[in-house]
Structure 1
Amino acid sequence: MITQFTNDGLTFDVDDAGDPAAPAVILLHGFPQDRAAWAGVAADLVRHERRTLAPDLRGYSPGARPRDRRRYALDLLAGDVIALADAAGLERFDLAGHDWGAALAFHVAGRHPGRVRTLTALSVPHRGAWASAARSGTQLWRSKYIALFQLPALPERVLARGIEGFLLRSGLGPEHARRYAERGRRHELDTALNWYRAMRLPAVFPRVAVPTLFAWGDGDEYVTERLARRCGSWVDGAYTFEILRGVRHWIPEMHPRLAAELILRPR
């Protein structure tokens, strides 16, 4: 069992649970979450005889908060995930991600298909699917926060003062909203904004060949159904698109058993 791993001169905290010999699932959180977002999901997966590894990702762990946005390129973030797998002794693993963690999970699976057995992405589709859908209509309006988070200085003030209400209005429960808001008030999330600021860097989004399930809630405030349905065009392997009726954005925190069931579903 491990509690930390290192990569690129950085040190990451990780929750490692379950039998070390069991099939492993790596769980990637999004913004403004941390590894605790997966606590309920991990507990259910462990009951189903899985090992779970949930890291605080780059920008979130105290020892892994570089200030330079160039150090948040997707290839570097994917390298962090592979470093975790290596540190845990995993030749292959199942991979799940939510929000930004889902976007990263697609990238890891595309770049390292020999390491990933299955991919489960929640709420946010493959980055390649955003190319046209995010530039017009309803999706453009829903994505306005992305432009805000790329600005200098202002987003840090938003995180420090107003993020709790923002999270509550989008369907996150009070306990988690308070936790993430408190981290924002302590400026522990300032470097996490570099995930958004790095979106302006040149990037190539690889296609995915591993068995993939993408689940999207039809109550999601940030991703339209039109965009969600585009995700499958970036997956060449076996693919399942699941629409979760009446479910909003925060699937791991608010629907942990459902998230675990999706991860465990045979491909």
Structure 2
Amino acid sequence: MADLDRLLRPGISHAAADAVEPPDFAPIERRGVRRRRAHTVLAAAAVVVVLLGVAGGVRIFDADKSSAPHVVDQPPPRSLPAEDGVVEPGTYLVPSSTWSTVDYTITFPEGWRVRDQYIFDANSEQIDELSIEPFVVTKIYADACQGERGPQTQVGPGVDDLVDALLAQPGPAKTRVETTLGGYPATRVDLRVPDRLKTKNCFEGPGTGAQIWLNGPKNYLVLDPNGLLSIYVVDVDGQRAVFTSQTRPAYTSPEDRAELQQVLDSIHIEK
């Protein structure tokens, strides 16, 4: 038996050596390295996302800040000069008076003139003159061609009272347009002298135009024989305000028409 042990011991030793050969840990180690790298990449990506979010937030904040409106203090409107003459460009306050039922502001570009503190014009006393006037109207001429040679018609206090009276007044050719002026609804009545009236013996003879109304010593309105007269009847919360503008279309340039409209659009009725 001892001899058998001696014979078998070398084989057993070799088998044991083969049986206890250490395992290969290289694949396991490689998987661990890959996991650690993956964790590192994910952590770095998370940091980048956070940093981008912070930077984006800063950019959005800056954009919101830069888009905030920049408030500029506007100078108060000026008072109209007491003397007739060309006014400096700017915004002026026109208080209510015998010529206007409301306070309003109006803005002039270069070259506009004021007369009697309520008549405004450009290209003064020239064929291409532009004009704007406010009025207080209580009556109109019964016939615009006869004018002061005929009677006058009383007009009620409402907006429609004046609009209806103008549309019914004999003489001018008329067009009615619904619009706004000074921030309030308005009806605009456009008047022209028709050809049949230009040769007729009107208030001052043939070719002298038509008289629309007279409401005081200077508060008169005449339609030029070559003119386009626009009468704005404004409804200021039930109170009637009246403004007019007049051009001579055959002689008025597109630039001057645009400037006249710009001044009309600048009117703001104060309440």
TM-score of the pair, normalised by structure 2: 0.25
Larger Rg: 2
| Structure that is richer in strand per residue | 2
TM-score of the pair, normalised by structure 1: 0.25
| Structure that is richer in helix per residue | 1
